[in-house]
Structure 1
Amino acid sequence: MIVLLTGASGFLGRRLGLALLKAGHHVICAMRQPPSAPEPGLPMRYVQADFERDLEVADWMPRLAGVDAVVNAAGILREQDGQSFANIHVRGPCALFAACAAAGVSRVLQVSALGADEQARTGYHLSKKAADDYLCSLPLASVAVVQPSLIYGPGGGSARLFTTLASLPLIALPGGGRQQVQPVHVDDVVQAVVALLEQDEVRGRVPLVGPRPVSLRDYLAALRQGLRLGRARFLPVPQALVGLAARLGSRLPNSLLDRDSWSMLQRGNTADPLPTQRLLGRAPRGPEDFIEPAERPVLRQTARLTWLLPLLRLSVALVWIVTGIVSLGLYPVQDSLALLARSGVPAALAPTLLYGAALLDLALGVATLLMKRRRRLWLVQAALMLFYTAIITLRLPEFWLHPYGPILKNLPLLGVLWLLYELEDEEAG
């Protein structure tokens, strides 16, 4: 078949495109920014499409010429500037589905979400349900709405969140971690979607889930075991406190915890595994088998760095901020001026340099907390630290022999800044 695949550059879409090619289908990838040429060895075609812009049936008709089937794998977890549930989940897909009916496309498969049903309350679930309902109402020969549970897979947002939580020395559990989930591996989702697309006259909703429901506590314990990080230690967190954190997370653009995600987790995410098992011809993979041995070292390091890097940034910020506050007067000003005099600073300039340096330290600390791209900031901080170290070495060398090692401590701090500098591109990209 010739298959038009939307969301082809996403976490699930990329894998679906490869699986459809492997199954012998011809794939047309609809993307906002298609590459100028296919990757070597991947005979895919590309068309430019954007659910935020292509909201009319006429926008999709030219792209459906000769197409036998459509798979819509586009979606967002949170609304951001230029990306809304109303367009990406509802208006754009509904225009595409209507165009399929007008163009005589025989098969349409929509990737929705478990929970997009009559009990839906969040904007994510409600928008998915609206498109699902519209698709099922159209006079198409074969219509399937797959509803995956939490999808685990390298590079996925859900996997990143839960492996990070599982890697913590002390794992915070909202409400004791009794919430029921039924995570499914991305490879099983891809295999099930391809199998479903190849079936004749399919109609309706199909849940895609793991082999059994598990509590959030047991899921995190299984992931930690898969990462080979030892026994999990848990800290129950009151639901009211998690709700407050979710409200705060709703104000942060990249937070995976917000009011909707907390609401969906509280509701639970489970279904009958039999439809998934029938499509796969076997039982789906359980959480204890999610992490492949070959993937384990990279996943373990990535999970730890996800929380260690913010901790390092916070510690660096506190060093600058506390140093600035101490220099502004907590440390006796006359003693600070005396040190400046011994460093060769003229008495008339000493107060200006003292308070100017203190304010600079404070500014560097605040910038460390607030700036999104910090590569140049790390260089500035390292240069200033080296400058301070050089002056002290020349004018106050006795501080190298101080029992508390105030200058020696600059060496590990410089190492931390170097680490943050080297990892900044990867993190920001």
Structure 2
Amino acid sequence: MSQRILLTGASGFVGAAVMQCLLDRGHQVIAALRQVPQTLDPRAEVFHFAQLDGETPWQAGLAGVRTVIHSAARVHVMNDTEADPLAAFRRVNVDATLNLARQAVAAGVRRLVFISSIKVNGEGTAKARPYAADDKPAPCDPYGISKQEAEDGLRKLANETGLEVVIVRPVLVYGPGVKANFLAMMRWLDKGVPLPFGAIDNRRSLVALGNLADLVATCAEHPAAANQTFLVSDGEDLSTTALLQRMASALGRPARLLPVPGVLLQWMATALGKKALSHRLCGSLQVDIGKTRSLLGWTPPLSVDEAFLLAARDYQEKTNK
């Protein structure tokens, strides 16, 4: 059934993919944006707001809306220059989220889907001991703490008002348009740079952009999603070595991987002040999506290799322009 849906962050990496998925499913989408990109799908309506904080007025954008999908956030920052990073994250990720939720309740919105983060669960897992959706949260940084506080506030509001809250915690998201470390990895592989990651025996859960968008749209529609928390991944966990090998294959390049032991890599990275990066490359972070599959009947529509090909083709098209 078609719904009128307000989507925040509709021009972002995740939000733009969610918007396309919703429009393709026949929903009416109101894209809540501070700046309207020229590439915005003309099928979407636009609600313009000036600033995302605890005072943002949402009433005009919420008129007739049945579901809100909240994708906008202050995202994880590697080298944060804020004097008080937690306060900065709270202004956007907690105060702005709960302000939107309270106004949604007043407008008669039935459901709010909140895109949170796996950082609410923690920073890593022992291999073969994945996080589950209902594990006790253990955030370790200001970003993860702010997301947990937003989740807690939304659940409290749901208990008080009857608003249906659905929480989705993605792992690392990749796909066309990806930036940061994943983009750097594709550049290294494309240029044939030898990399010291040929002997990493870890496991990482990833989620393709298309798979995440599909699940978020499902959470807006499915009756069983109400007041649940879901973890999302591609359903196949990879070592860093396997990830690089399969992405190189998608790029049509050989993977020049040197078999440097992971323990040595971590020691060297720590000595160079890159401990967090070494943890992401050598450590494990796995999630169990059994609840997501069983409760929603959801299966990731894209395989890892299909999703890698999409990311690789997008990268190559932009690089060869």
Task: Please tell me the residue identity of whatever aligns with 1:103.
Answer: A
- Taking the TM superposition and a 5 Å limit, the aligned residue runs for 1:180-219 are 180-200=203-223, 202-219=226-243
Task: Please tell me the residue identity of whatever aligns with 2:213.
Answer: V
Give the corresponding residue for 1:69: 67
Change beyond 3 A, Cα 1:232–1:137: farther
Task: Please tell me the residue identity of whatever aligns with 1:129.
Answer: Q
What SS is found at the alignment partner of 1:138? helix
How high is the TM-score relative to the length of structure 2? 0.77
CA contact (8 A) 2:33 2:46 kept: yes
CA contact (8 A) 1:136 1:204 kept: no
The runs of 5 or more residues in structure 1 that have no matched partner are 248-257, 306-422
Cα distance, 1:30 vs structure 2: 1.0
Tell me, in whole angstroms, the C-alpha distance in 1 between the residues paired with 2:58 and 2:183: 34
Tell me, in whole angstroms, the C-alpha distance in 2 between the residues paired with 1:223 and 1:5: 31
Matched, 1:164 2:190: no
CA contact (8 A) 1:223 1:291 kept: yes
Tell me, in whole angstroms, the C-alpha distance in 1 between the residues paired with 2:109 and 2:235: 34
Give the corresponding residue for 1:243: 270
Cα distance, 1:172 vs structure 2: 3.2
Matched, 1:289 2:306: yes
Change beyond 3 A, Cα 1:102–1:244: farther
Task: Please tell me the residue identity of whatever aligns with 2:68.
Answer: V
CA contact (8 A) 2:189 2:255 kept: no
Give the corresponding residue for 1:271: 287
Tell me, in whole angstroms, the C-alpha distance in 2 between the residues paired with 1:126 and 1:147: 13
Tell me, in whole angstroms, the C-alpha distance in 2 between the residues paired with 1:211 and 1:220: 18
Greater radius of gyration (CA): 1
What SS is found at the alignment partner of 1:221? helix
What SS is found at the alignment partner of 1:133? helix
Cα distance, 1:107 vs structure 2: 0.6
1:31 pairs, out of 33, 36, 40, with: 33
Give the corresponding residue for 2:47: 47
CA contact (8 A) 2:205 2:287 kept: yes
Give the corresponding residue for 1:110: 114
How high is the TM-score relative to the length of structure 1? 0.59
What SS is found at the alignment partner of 2:118? coil
- Taking the TM superposition and a 5 Å limit, the aligned residue runs for 1:6-405 are 6-34=8-36, 42-49=42-49, 52=52, 54-56=53-55, 59-75=57-73, 76-78=75-77, 79=80, 84-117=88-121, 118-139=137-158, 140-157=162-179, 159-167=182-190, 168-173=192-197, 177-200=200-223, 202-234=226-258, 236=260, 238-243=265-270, 245=272, 259=276, 268-277=284-293, 279=296, 281-283=298-300, 285-292=302-309, 296=312, 299-300=315-316
The runs of 5 or more residues in structure 2 that have no matched partner are 122-136
What SS is found at the alignment partner of 2:243? helix
* Number of residue equivalences: 288
Higher relative contact order (CA 8 A, sep 6+): 2
